[in-house]
Amino acid sequence: MKTAQHLTAPGTAAPRGGLLAVLAGNMLIDALEVSATLVALPALGQDFDLAPSTAQWAMTAFAIGFGGLMLFGARVVAIHGARRAYLWALLAFAAASLVAGVTGSFALLVACRVVKGFCAALTAPTGLAIIMNTFPEGPHRSRAISVYTVFGAGGFTTGLLLSGVLTDISWRWTLAAPAPAALLLFLLGLRMIPRSAPASGPRRRYDVAGALSATGALVCLDLAVASSPAHGWFSAQVGAAAAGFAALCAVFVAVERTGKDPLLRLPLRTGGTMARSALGAGALNGSYLGLLIVVTFQFQVGQGWSALQTALAILPASVPLALVALHSGRMIARFGTRRLIAYGALPPLAGYLLYLRLPAHPDYATAVLPTMVLVGLGFVLSFAALNTQATSGLAPAERGAAAALYQSAVQIAAVVAPALAAALFQNGLGGNGSGGLRPAVWLVVAIGAIGPVAALTTYLLPRPPRRVTSGGQGSWTRRVSG
C-alpha cells in the first residue's frame, strides 16, 4: 500500500522560492514556541497568581500537544492530504495564539497551547515532506532542506529574543505575537503550497481512541508532578493522577494492538539503536529545558532580572546550534554519528555539575556563562547526530513510525523534566526565591547523566550490519553510524 503524498509541483504562480519561504517561516514559529513561553513564565505566573509548578503548564502543554498527537497528526495528513492539513493547522495556530494572549482563564490558555502543539505536529514533518516531493533531487532540494533546518534551529534563539523584548511590555504580547505571522503564512500558503491528494489505498481511520489516550496519559503525568508541591508526593491527588497515567498508557497499548488501523503498529521492531537515540535525545532536551526553568525563576524571582536579561543570559546555550546547523551533515559524514553522540553527551553534564556548585546569586560571566557554553557545545555535537542515528539501519517502511516515536519521546522529556524541575524548585522555595535551586539542579544532573550512559552503550555495542537487498522499494543500506 502506498503511503506517500502526491503533490503537484508549483508552477509560475507559486514559485519554489515562495513555497520555501512559507515552509521555513512556519518552521521558525513552531520552533520558537517553547523558548518564547519560557522566560515569560514568572510574569505570567504572577498575573494569574500561580506557583512555578503550575505556571510551567503554559510551556509543557505545547509539548503535550506536539508529542501526544504527532502520530495522530500523521494520520490526519494521510486522510486529508498535506496541503489541506497544513493550511488548516496554520489557521488554527493563529487563532489559538490570539486566544491565549487575551484570555483571562489559565485553563483556556493551557488548552490553546495544546492546540498549538498539535498544529506543530501537523506542520513540522509535513513541511519537510512537501520539500521532498516538490524540489527536484540534487542541489535545489539540498539547499531547501538546509534553509528549512536553519530556520528550525534558529527558532529557539528567536523565541528567546522575542519573548525577552515583549514580556517586559506584557507576557500577553509574547503569546499573541505568532498570530499575525501564522495568518500571513496561511494567506501566502493558499497560493504557494502545492495541491496534494490523500494517500492511496484502503480508507484510513482516525484512531481517535489512540490519540486521546496518548495525550491524556501525558496530561495525567504532568498533573501528578505539578500537584506534588501543594499536596505531597504520596497524596491522593498525586496518586490519582499517576493511576490515570498508567491506565491511559494501558488503554493506548490495547487500542494499538487490537485496532483495525492503529496509529502505531505494536510491536514496533526498530532495534535498540532507535531506543538509545530517543533516550539520549530525551536526556539532552529534557535536562536543558529543566535547567532553563531553574535559571528563569532563579534570575527573575530570586535576583530581580528582567525577561530580556534572562533571555540574553540563556542565548549562549542556543546560538551555537543555529550557527552550525548548515554544517551538521558534513560533521556526521566526517566523524560518524556514534562518535559525535559520545562526545556531545559529556559537555552538558559537565555544565550541570558546574552549576550545582554555584551559590544562589552567582556571577554570570565567570559562573553561569561556562555552563551555557558547555550545554551549547553538547547540542552542536550530538543534536543532528541523534536525529540521524534514530532511524539508521531501518527499512524505508519502518522509518516513518520510528521517527514519529522518536520525536514523541523527545517531547515527553520536554513535559516531564521542566515539570519536575519546577516542582522541586517550588518545594524548597525560600525567602530569597532560590531555596529549591539545589534539588532542582540535582534533577537536571540526573537527567543529563542518562545521555552519556546511552551514548556509551551505543558506542561500545557492535555496529548494525550493512544489509542490502536488490531492487524495488525494499532495497536499503545502513546510514552513516561511524
Q: What is the pLDDT of residues 167-218, one digit of tens each?
A: 999 999 999 999 999 999 999 999 888 887 666 666 678 889 999 999 999 9
**If we measure between CA atoms, which residue out of 296, 76, 326, 317 comes closest to residue 171?**
296
CATH architecture under which domain 12-196 falls: Up-down Bundle (1.20)
- Residues 6+ positions from 205 with CB-CB distance below 8 Å: 75, 259, 260, 261
Query: C-alpha distances in angstroms, 144 versus 4, 46, 330?
Result: 20, 42, 16
CATH pick for 270-463 out of 2.40.30.10, 1.10.150.20, 3.40.50.620, 1.20.1250.20 = 1.20.1250.20
Residue 327 per-residue DSSP state = G
- Reply yes or no on whether the pLDDT at 404 is more than 80: no
User: How confident is the model at residue 195, as a pLDDT?
Assistant: 81
Q: What is the pLDDT of residues 73-121, one digit of tens each?
A: 888 888 888 899 999 999 999 999 999 999 999 999 999 999 999 999 9
- Reply yes or no on whether the pLDDT at 284 is more than 60: yes
**If we measure between CA atoms, which residue out of 333, 414, 332, 334 comes closest to residue 381?**
332
CA–CA separation, 290 and 48 (whole Å): 22
Matching fold, domains 12-196 and 270-463:
yes
User: How confident is the model at residue 475, as a pLDDT?
Assistant: 33
CA–CA separation, 152 and 28 (whole Å): 5
Confidence of residue 433 (pLDDT cuts 50, 70, 90): very low
CA–CA separation, 419 and 213 (whole Å): 20
User: How confident is the model at residue 464, as a pLDDT?
Assistant: 53
Q: What is the pLDDT of residues 350-391, one digit of tens each?
A: 999 999 887 767 788 888 899 999 999 999 999 888 888 887
Phi-psi region of 423 (alpha: psi -120 to 50; beta: other; left: phi over 0): alpha
Cell numbers given for 410: 523527545
Please compute, for residue 283, the number of CA atoms within 13 A of its CA located in the half-sphere on the CB side. Answer: 28
Find the mean pLDDT for residues 225-233. 88
The answer to whether 78 and 188 have CB atoms below 8 angstroms apart is no
- Reply yes or no on whether the pLDDT at 466 is more than 50: no
Ordered by start, the domain boundaries in the chain are 12-196, 208-262, 270-463
Among 128-142, 247-261, 408-422, 439-453, the range scoring the smallest mean pLDDT is: 128-142
User: How confident is the model at residue 458, as a pLDDT?
Assistant: 66
Which amino acid is it at 211? Answer: A
User: How confident is the model at residue 328, as a pLDDT?
Assistant: 83
Q: At what angle do helices 369-390 and 346-356 cross, to 10 degrees?
A: 150
How is 64-133 classified by DSSP, letter by letter? HHHHHTHHHHHHHHHHH-HHHHHHHHHHHHHHHHHHHHH-S-HHHHHHHHHHHHHHHHHHHHHHHHHHHH
